[in-house]
Amino acid sequence: QYGPYWYPTDLSRNWTNVNVPAVHWGGWYDFFNKGTLASFNGYHYLGGPGARGSSYLIMSPGGHCPTGEYPWPANSFSNIAFNIGFALFQAVAAGEDPNSIGYHHIILYVMGSSTVDPLQTPSGNFWICTDEWPAVVLTPMYLNTERRLSQAPPAGANSMTIVADPSIPVETVGGDNLIWPSCGPWDQRAVERRYDVVSFDSAPLTEPLAIVGNVSLTIFISSTAVDTDIVAKVVDVYQDGTAYNVLDNGLRMRWRESDEVPTFMEPGVVYEVTIDLFSTAYVFDAGHTIRLDLTSSNYPRFSLNRNNGQLLAESNGENIIAYNTLHYGNTYVSALNLPVVNFDGLKLLECQP
């Protein structure tokens, strides 16, 4: 539980005390995805005089695991983080301007579909180099009454209930894991066949759709329990039906208002919540479908919620089956929020670091 004990070591409360530049190197499928980006933004835009405007961000596709179910393209491997780090260290040690080392401040790998896809050549899988984050248009994909994702606002209202049984949690298959056999992108179809996973699909895309930045889900939920989890996953569905995860995260409802003070639910009351799905740089190919999977567990990526309102350390082991109802449509406007970037403009930033 976050609280005053952690304040002195929490950099997000102390950015102005940071007075040295840094190289922030992370991966889109890494457990520390969010922290890497937050650290760069804190150093580069909010830091003290020695750090502000002088830090560097490199985001590659991987994470603490070497790859996913399919290998990363050969062009995704680069020594750029080491090269920048060495040049920055030399400049700072010599008392020189950290901005004089000749590198862009933001270097991102824009992921795409698998290069072994037999039906098409991916539009993604390239690096971009820039000094400012690409301009994005926050685009809501609404959950509509036909279990579809659409940019058109929904006309009707609907709801569906997910059974959250802690004794049979939804298993982790891929994702932003720290140490787990299946990290990165993995085919989700076996998980999606479970009775306690519901999916919303877009229409097949008519052209590539690029997203670069933070993705979130706005959702309305009620439950029979005083505490439960809602877990969301963004999936790229290929033309042959293969479904690879791009992003996922969850929210424990007791922490929906604060990281420090739990706020329990009142059974039957509808709550609006926003789930931070972390950030990515990804191109969904033409002909592909964007899918949103919703459930109430992803174990062991996230600890079990016994739905009994107790902290895990205090729990007596009692499992309560929760019935979690998702509300969407024109009354409760739920949406997947995507940071859409102009694809042609993105390609103008392409580089090979």
Each residue of 76-99: pLDDT tens digit?
999 999 999 999 999 999 999 999
Which of 77, 100, 80 has its CA nearest to residue 90?
Answer: 100
Sheet strands (E) in the chain: 23-27, 56-60, 106-110, 126-130, 137-143, 149-150, 157-164, 198-201, 209-223, 229-237, 243-252, 271-284, 289-295, 322-329, 335-341, 350-351
pLDDT of residue 1: 74
Using DSSP, state whether 344 is helix, strand or coil.
helix
Each residue of 254-312: pLDDT tens digit?
999 999 999 999 999 999 999 999 999 999 999 999 999 999 999 999 999 999 998 77
**316, pLDDT greater than 70:** no
Structure tokens, 143: 């959950």
List beta partners, residue 110. 126
pLDDT of residue 183: 86
Average pLDDT over residues 4-16: 91
Each residue of 19-30: pLDDT tens digit?
999 999 999 999
pLDDT of residue 239: 94
| Overall pTM > 0.85 | yes
**189, pLDDT greater than 80:** yes
**313, pLDDT greater than 90:** no
pLDDT of residue 72: 86
**5, pLDDT greater than 70:** yes
Most confident of 114-123, 150-159, 199-208: 199-208
Asked if the peptide bond before residue 98 counts as cis, ω within 30 degrees of 0, the response is no
Q: Which residues contact 5 (CB under 8 A, 6 or more apart)?
A: none
> Position of tokens 């992921």?
111
For the chain, give the percent of residues with pLDDT over 70: 97
pLDDT of residue 168: 97
Which of 348, 349, 269 has its CA nearest to residue 104?
Answer: 349
Tell me the CB-side half-sphere exposure of residue 11, using CA atoms within 13 A.
16
Return mean pLDDT, the chain. 94
Average pLDDT over residues 63-86: 89
